[in-house]
A and B are shown apart, each in its own frame.
Chain A
Amino acid sequence: QKEVEQNSGPLSVPEGAIASLNCTYSDRGSQSFFWYRQYSGKSPELIMSIYSNGDKEDGRFTAQLNKASQYVSLLIRDSQPSDSATYLCAVPQGGATNKLIFGTGTLLAVQP
């Protein structure tokens, strides 16, 4: 089992719809979880961090964490064409190294 798993997509949604991106992780001791957005040819940009079970909202983005199920998701409401990018889920491996383990990313395409 991979340490961090994501569906590679592409996930295609119409403009204005809700995009739902999912991520599972294997390390039950993980305490923090991150979502990065990466446009083609660019570097990853941190868009959400979540540390506690439940939902965390920031503008059109909502991160959801369920530690019991080892599952973290990102919802994007009112999706815009500018949201079209690859979304990377990242989980620290643990210990003092702050080593981030990334999934392979989900490509989101928002159709105008």
Chain B
Amino acid sequence: ETGVTQSPTHLIKTRGQQVTLRCSSQSGHNTVSWYQQALGQGPQFIFQYYREEENGRGNFPPRFSGLQFPNYSSELNVNALELDDSALYLCASNRIGDRVYNEQFFGPGTRLTVL
């Protein structure tokens, strides 16, 4: 167990709906990254939040948005859901400034199914 928690565990939505996924970072970590993992693929970087601001973004459209709160927890919001958004959504936390760079620890993930 990494100490990173995510909710909900599973979610079923229909095309066009909106969804919010939540993540609590590991104690002592100040950075949260979100990844999308399609079946049979490696995780794909969506974006990262540090000090409550977006700190880098992957090749995802603007309908993917996020927030980070003062307690370092984070939300991922996806609007206008498409069938291809069906995937495992992973949250990872780390601490920028640590000597051990970039070690990111993943939460259990949220499995999103879009029908």
A and B part of one assembly: yes
Hey, which chain A residues are within 8 Å of B103, CB to CB? 34, 46, 49
Interface size class of A (residues with CB under 8 A): 20 to 34
Prevailing SS type, chain A contact patch: loop
Hey, which chain A residues are within 8 Å of B58, CB to CB? 99
| Binary interface encoding of chain B residues 82-115 relative to chain A, with 1 for a CB under 8 A from any of its CBs, else 0 | 0000001010101010001111111111000000
A102 adjacent to chain B (CB < 8 Å): yes
Q: Are B33 and A43 in contact (CB under 8 A)?
A: no
Could you tell me the distance between the alpha carbons of A96 and B96 in the complex, rounded to whole angstroms? 9
Q: Are B102 and A104 in contact (CB under 8 A)?
A: no
Hey, which chain A residues are within 8 Å of B92, CB to CB? 100
- Most chain A CB atoms below 10 A, which of B40, B100, B102, B103: B102
Chain A: minimal CB distance from B99 (Å): 10
Report the number of A-B residue pairs with Cβ-Cβ less than 8 Å.
73
Hey, which chain A residues are within 8 Å of B42, CB to CB? 4, 88, 90, 102-105
Q: Are B102 and A44 in contact (CB under 8 A)?
A: no
Could you tell me the distance between the alpha carbons of A100 and B42 in the complex, rounded to whole angstroms? 10
Could you tell me the distance between the alpha carbons of A2 and B33 in the complex, rounded to whole angstroms? 22
Q: Out of A31, A42, A98, name the residue touching B108 (CB < 8 Å).
A: A42
- With A32-B102, A34-B103 as contacts: A98 and B96 at CB distance below 8 Å: yes
